[in-house]
Structure 1
Amino acid sequence: MTTMTVIGCGYLGAVHAACMATLGHDVLGIDVDAGKVDQLNRGVPPFFEPGFPELLAEALESGRLRFTSDMSQATGRRVHFVCVGTPQKRNEYAADLAYVDSAVNALAPHLSPDALVVGKSTVPVGTAARLADVVTEAQPGAMLAWNPEFLREGFAVQDTLRPDRIVYGLPDGVPGDAAKALLDEVYGNALTAGTPLVVTDYATAELVKAAANSFLATKISFINAMAEVCEASGADVTKLADAIGYDPRIGRRFLNAGLGFGGGCLPKDIRAFMARAGELGADQALAFLREIDSINMRRRVRMVDLAREFFGGSIVGRRVAVLGLAFKPNSDDIRDSPALNVAAQMKLQGASVVVTDPQAVANAHKAWPDLEYADTAQTAAKDADLVMVLTEWDEYRKLDPVEFGTIVAGRRVLDGRNALNREVWRAAGWNYRALGRQ
């Protein structure tokens, strides 16, 4: 059993803390938000994540997990995970490291000589080396490692307990050996189960997450660029994706054309990557990411354009039901959500918009209180002239188009995620449109 802290108890930190406690470690979660700390200590998750409520309850009941706002309670603990956010700076592409710097500086006075600080936040390359100096100046003998996270919202518990790989960014020499030994102890279960381990330097470990997110964003935007060509040429992007996906060098995953990516990671991480490359004099190497970002944002505009095309160019006064507000299914996260962005644009352009989502309504209402909210797809779609499926929740995929057609004023559906069975919906009398398909 390792004694540890997890600093920052948002999405990443809270899940990591509960998982570590479940694996047998003694974990103290630390967050500056006293309200969040109280919620977590009562076993109430501050966000939606499948499997997390049960995991949190189990960890708290074991006595190996608790939460506090008092950083001094970190004293004497051996491993300290830094899991705070790195949002995009206002009016800039660069990442805001204020929370990371604040967390490490607040922790530094409470470090023991053999302590290990482990960064999990997504940061620009070069950050770990700078923070390592802060740690060693505050407590000679203390060490810093970088251990990037690869969580997928909706699968965070699974990804923490059974990761597909683990990466250590370590200092050279004896400190690196000592840090590795501690991390091996922390991740003993996963390593014993055969999880691949990559041991490298700070810079490479930092770049792993940035490179992975950039590659994923590129693949998503590639198929969405093909969707634009398909619309112009009369081709079908879904069949195109199927055909090229059989090539093992390409693969079918993440070749689903649609509204594009959003959330709290991919958009801001690729922008921060571009900004850091520019600072390093390597901006030309990542110039392609600007077009990736542009393709992604154009999808939102195109979705509104398709809605206008249904009605001869104007959506003023039309009643529109929007199904989905979270940036992806199995999440209540609306950060940079394409679905919420489109719903808001429809409202601003004169439509009467009713929105719904299985989990994200409360968060969306805080951001856009002027939208009309409904609890279910059926309520949202009552008397609607147009239905827009913008987040591919399973319950929307499984809607019965015949029954659903009795609710609406007009059987028009815009499938923003290519999630519905086009032939089945058309057979039920719906005028079906989707990005990249005729």
Structure 2
Amino acid sequence: MTLRISVIGTGYLGTTLAAGLAEFGHEVIGVDIVPEVVKKLNAGQPHMFENGLEHLLEQHTRSGRLRFTLDYDDIADWADVHFLALGTPELPDGSADLSQLHATIDALAPKLTKPALVVGRSTVPVGTAPALQERLRRLAPAGDGIELAWQPEFLREGFAVGDTLRPDRLVFGVQSDHALRLLKQVYAIPLSEETPVITCDLATAELIKQAANTFLATKISFINAMAQLCQVAGGDVTVLADALGLDARIGRGHLSPGLGFGGGCFPKDIRALAVRADELGVNVLSDLIKSVEVINSAQRVELAELAIDQLGGEIAGKKVAVLGAAFKEGTDDTRDSPSLTVADYLHDRGAIVEVYDPQAHLAPRDGFTQVGSVIEAVRDADIVLHLTAWPEFRYLDPAELAPLVRSKIIIDGRLKLHAPTWRDAGWKLVQIGRAATL
């Protein structure tokens, strides 16, 4: 059954969701407040890099199933379901900023004159949904005919289109059979492919996304702490991770050692959960999260100090080539990027830092220069840092790069380079946690 669906908010989540719902056969209108963004999206052009998204946007803006607007009047009594895909950025105290959600409710609700389902997809502190439900019903002419549900998203940047079209699970936080039926109609195609469904209350739905991100962040910080121990003790953290991953109780996912996590989700989501846990008196959880963050931050400093150590303890005036600015491969997102933290750290100590990334474009900033190619970045470099695991970097020819650099030293911060190939070409390749292979 084809539904009419609005998606309010056309950031990374909302744009991908709107295109995905059109692919499922629904009529979709996306809403944003920025005219330039709406114009670009209506032309089938995303305003961020995400594999496969441009094709999906082009296909469905042409088909007529997908369009974008600035006007809430276009969606208020048109849509059967309204998805809220607003950002919840981090406030200075670590809590979530819900102002975009509140502003959207205040703009949308007074225009809702017929029954509709409003579905939250933003990551919010537990307890947010009931307050939004009360606000909706108080402001909407349709009153109790407006129902709120919560459906957390589990998109991975770089894989968001696939995660939307072929989700590994669907979580529906609902308050009625009617809401559940509507959500099952929205996702009829993935459900026909036997996608697992979890049906739960609003509070559990709110908690699931933050719990998932916190658990994954904990695994990443754990293996990075073990990498530091391997470095000192003479072990190989990649072999250790492989052995742990064969234990069905643990699994190999997110046990890849390196620079740690960053981006727009993990850091803010786990901090927001820590703040909420403190507010509710569950200090054991907030203490765990704070430890995870300490390890993650320390890993960046560890790599930067390792670079300084490889240059004999003096980095001032030395050229550092940084390969990668995005927080991970497959995206142009530089929010809380470990690569940029390392670049800033080394610049602050006097290094000349040049950064190259195949997709991320940095605003002009003090501290280092963004260049247009690997060749430009490594020319006359005293040390090369591989900090984002783009395939382009993984398959570089070290023999071709060797004549360009001043010193053939490379630190593999993602443990993705083939060490024997680099060493055979005369490079000193250093990987945190692999002291046994140096």
Report if TM-score (shorter chain) is over 0.5: yes
Matches within 5 A, 1:14-413: 14-76=15-77, 77-90=79-92, 92-137=93-138, 138=140, 139-171=143-175, 176-360=176-360, 362=361, 364-366=362-364, 368=365, 370-413=367-410
Residue 436 of structure 1 aligns to a residue in which SS?
coil
Tell me, in whole angstroms, the C-alpha distance in 2 between the residues paired with 1:345 and 1:370. Answer: 9
Task: Write out per-residue CA displacement over residues 380-425 of structure 1, whole angstroms, 9 at most, x where no aligned residue.
Answer: 1111111100000001000111112122111000111111112221
Letter in 1 for 2:428: N
Query: What amino acid is the match of 1:51?
Result: G
C-alpha contact (below 8 Å) 1:5/1:29 kept by paired residues: yes
1:388 is matched by which residue type in structure 2?
Answer: L
- 8 Å Cα contact 1:45/1:53 also seen in 2: yes
Question: d(CA) in 1 for partners of 2:111 and 2:197?
Answer: 30
Mapped contact 1:78–1:112 kept (Cα < 8 A): no
CA–CA separation in structure 2 for the residues paired with 1:72 and 1:278:
41
Is the contact between residue 344 and residue 367 of structure 2 (CA under 8 Å) also seen in structure 1? no
Q: Distance in 1 between matches of 2:377 and 2:96?
A: 38
Between the two proteins, the alignment pairs up a number of residues equal to 430
Q: How far apart in 2 are the matches of 1:193 and 1:239?
A: 36
RMSD over aligned CA atoms reads 1.1
Counterpart of 2:422 in structure 1: which amino acid? W
Q: Percent identity?
A: 50
Residue 149 of structure 2: SS of its match in structure 1? strand
Matched residue type, 1:23 = F
Is 206-215 or 234-243 further displaced after alignment?
234-243
Which letter does structure 2 place at the counterpart of 1:163? Answer: P
Task: Say whether the 8 Å CA contact 1:112–1:142 is kept in structure 2.
Answer: no
For 1:250 and 1:282, how far apart are their aligned partners in 2? 25
CA contact 1:241–1:252 (8 Å) conserved in 2: yes
| Structure 2: runs of 5+ lacking an equivalent | none
Deviation of 1:129 (Å): 1.2
Asked if structure 2 preserves the Cα contact closer than 8 Å seen for 1:326 and 1:332, the reply is yes
Distance in structure 1 (CA, Å) of the matches to 2:233 and 2:84: 49
Deviations 1:163-219 (A, max 9, x none): 000000011xxxx11111111110000111100011100000011101100110000
Q: How many Å separate the matches in 2 of 1:79 and 1:110? A: 14
The alpha carbon displacement at 1:370 in A equals: 4.5
8 A Cα contact 2:117 2:149, kept in partner: yes
TM-score with structure 2 setting the length? 0.96
| DSSP 3-state at the match of 2:122 | coil
Provide structure 1 residue ranges, at least 5 long, that are not aligned to the other structure. Answer: none
1:35-84 deviation per Cα after TM superposition (whole angstroms, max 9, x unaligned): 11111111221000000010000010110111111112222111000001
1:113 shift after superposition = 3.1
Q: Any idea what the Cα deviations from partners look like across 1:360-391, whole Å, max 9, x if unmatched? A: 0x2x234x355212111122111111110000
| 1:348 Cα offset (Å) | 1.6
Question: How far does residue 140 in structure 1 lie from its aligned partner after superposition?
Answer: 2.1
- TM-score by structure 1 length? 0.96
For 1:78 and 1:123, the matched residues in 2 are separated by 23
Deviations 1:118-146 (A, max 9, x none): 00000000111111111222222111000
User: How far, CA to CA, are the matches of 2:132 and 2:50 in structure 1?
Assistant: 31
State the alpha-carbon separation in 2 of the partners of residues 415 and 182 from structure 1.
48
Distance (Å, rounded) in 2 between the aligned partners of 1:135 and 1:182: 19
The residue type paired with residue 85 of structure 2 is C
